[in-house]
Amino acid sequence: MLTWILIIIVGGILGWLASIVMRTDAQQGILLNIVVGIVGAILGGLLLAPIIGGGSITTGDFSISSLLVSLLGAIILLAIVNLVRRGRVR
């Protein structure tokens, strides 16, 4: 139970940091930051962890390498979302 609470809190912080890096912070609220952080951690764990090494925060590992992998996953997720949004006709 405590691990899930930590994943939500750290995921929110990582999602917020990723949104600052990608300059989408004004468009997102706290709930979307949490979702971006957790989904980005899953994405980073699947794609980046085998390359860089380490795990992600979704495995319960809160080391520096896991935080970095999860943050990079969140940044990649926001980059993909920005590309999809840019492709839409308004």
12-58, pLDDT tens digit by residue?
A: 999 999 999 998 877 778 898 899 999 998 998 898 888 887 788 88
pTM value? 0.86
The set of long-range contacts for 25-34, using a CB threshold of 8 Å and a minimum separation of 24, is: 34/8
> What is the 3-class SS of 20-86, one letter each residue?
HHCCCHHHCCHHHHHHHHHHHHHHHHHHCHHHHCCCCHHHCCCCHHHHHHHHHHHHHHHHHHHHHHH
Cα gap 13→88, rounded to integer Å: 29
CA distance 22 to 80: 11
